Amino acid sequence: MQQGSAAGRRIQELRELIRYHDHRYYVLDDPEISDPAYDGLFSELQELESQYPELTTPDSPTQRVGGTPSPEFASVTHRMPMLSLNNGFSSVDVQSFDRRVCDALRVSVVDYSVEPKFDGLAINLRYEAGIFVQGATRGDGSEGEDVSRNLRTLRSVPLRLRGQAPSSLEVRGEVLMYKQDFLELNRRQIVNGERSFANPRNAAAGSLRQLNPLITAARPLRFMAYGVGEVAGAELLPTHAELLDWLKALGIPVTAQRQVVSGATGLLLAYKRFEAERNSLPYEIDGVVYKVNRIDWQERLGFIARAPRFALAHKFPAEEAITEVLGIDIQVGRTGAITPVARLRPVTVGGVTVTNATLHNEEEMRRKDIHIGDFVTVRRAGDVIPEVVQVLLDKRRSDVRPYIFPTVCPECGSDVAKPVGESIARCSGGLICPAQLRQSLVHFASRRAMNIDGLGEKIVDQLIGAGAVGTPADLYYLKHSEISALQRFGEKSAENLLYSINASKRTTLPRLIFALGIRNVGESTARDIARHFGTLDDIMNATVEQLLEVKDVGPVVAASVSQFFGEHRNREVLERIRAGGVVWEEGAPLLPHGDPLVTGKTFVLTGSLQSLSRNAARHMIEELGGVVTGSVSARSDYLVAGSAAGSKLDKAQALGIRVLTESELLAMLGRQVEGKK
């Protein structure tokens, strides 16, 4: 009896904890614990209630499905309950599930429909005569929230079904957010100074349960169906797989990642496939759902208090864990991005030992209030570097220390600056920062920059490894002996590379500006800046205000250029480039052969050109002051149409834009070209 009394106290404690976390998760969309931690509490309660059935009460969370509806939305009573699923965590759980199903049906083998377990918000869509009339959240399974107005803003929710729709149809599924859309939403939230979301599920739930549908409409939400509730006016389909095909034919989204397998062996093989493909899917999944495929067998198996007997959710291993922040280091990326990284007390997450986790940037680190010595929740997804999800403030000790973000680059000592409109701080060292050196050299030598033929990534790596090159300027001081000493280099190959380096010394100012790798400055912008100022010195000494006078240069580009040339060590590298023999024409008009038919005009290229590549055509047009864009609009002046021209030609003709053949373009440019460039 004493043991039962202890069990009763623990059962009561677990029920209160689960109710509290249900409210945080389902109503406030602000969970305090991870899904695996919640599952652990729920499983413990189920186990205790199975040992002491006399202690089970009707209001226990095990007898319910989820949270209670929010009072801010009208309530909807589900005509058929929206139940949850029992969970399995191991192959033994799956084998036991299959055995129970086979025993209950008195058969030896059962076919199952296998689908991903979406990590979203469960929704019921109601259609009358094929017209969408109402949408509701699952709520507590019996009663949910009316979110019809918000659901109408989702393009993936059809307002009218296709084909022969039943007189009444309830579609069950989940509202979710794709991974890439979630990252972009959080980026916008942070830029706008608003709260970012912990994960796509919370982002989807928070977005759908907005009182203002305009906010929901601005969020990238999607709907994915997995079953039905009440159906009237349609024949019962024999299998769940056919049911999903029918929903798809009606215009309702269903996952393409679904299949039918036989027995426990088939289930476990499908699970392994989903686990392997999990990170390549566009949306988050936290497991796999198994359902007996035959509908009549589903009806025979029936339900228990909160879940169907014919289905099981096989959850993936926990990808979150709690650990301690031992320190915070700074990593400098290849583009100069300054990223704080937490050094962690080693912890196993998803079967892998984790010792580091990204903190993304200074703003995110401050928002999460991360201190050295804090206990934090860490999340890992596949091979992606783990991240710190949140600080466990209730575990914070008095001896934790805030981290002071650096103002100079730890790699090169250059100033750290945060570009206008960005949340990521960057090293301004550019040409002299060791962390950025490899990318700087590869870009500097590329064909559209200094065009050093033969200087690829592998040779760059060797030059850096040998200590022969520390900045792009060092390329112009390389000796034959330094190059020939590289792996797989002989006399002739060393001579060829030296020849290419020497040939690159005669260049143009736009190419040089582009080669410097200034952030946000591409070929077109480099050309505009060179055309506007005429000399390198004038560009280097230009103020932000003067840079803003350049065509198509805005505050972000102007700040990037000003910061780059404001770093004295970048100027020193440029002086060494000049001293190394690199020359370019300055002061003279950049386009001596400009033609009024081309200069300032906008061209679009489409189809296959015969005598030159699109790239060569683009360069020829740009040399004469023209602009090449990728799409046809009313502002386009010419469309150059090669063979197999498609929709762009149709659009240009509809807009009355002049269409040029390849020979007409060449005549306009005054060039005769033989062979592809």
| DSSP annotation string for 2-17 | HHHHHHHHHHHHHHHH
Q: What is residue 19's three-state secondary structure?
A: helix
- Count of beta carbons in the 10 Å neighbourhood of residue 203: 25
The answer to whether the beta carbons of residues 195 and 364 sit under 8 Å apart is no
Spatial separation of the C-alpha atoms in residues 128 and 153, rounded to whole Å: 19
Alpha-helical regions (H) of 457-567: 457-465, 480-484, 491-503, 509-515, 523-533, 536-540, 544-547, 555-566
Alpha-helical regions (H) of 67-157: 91-105, 148-151
- Strand segments (E) across 242-333: 259-262, 285-292, 311-315, 320-332
The b-or-e profile of 507-522 (16+ CB within 10 A means b, else e) is bbbbbbbbbbbbbbbe
Distance of CA 53 to the CA centre of its chain: 47
Nearest residue to 175 via CA among 214, 139, 140, 207? 207
DSSP bridge partners of 348 = 353
Spatial separation of the C-alpha atoms in residues 60 and 49, rounded to whole Å: 10
Residue of 117, 291, 601, 648 with catalytic role = 117
Cα–Cα–Cα angle for 53, 59, 64, nearest 5°? Answer: 95
Active site residue 117: yes
DSSP bridge partners of 121 = 175
Catalytic residue IDs: 117
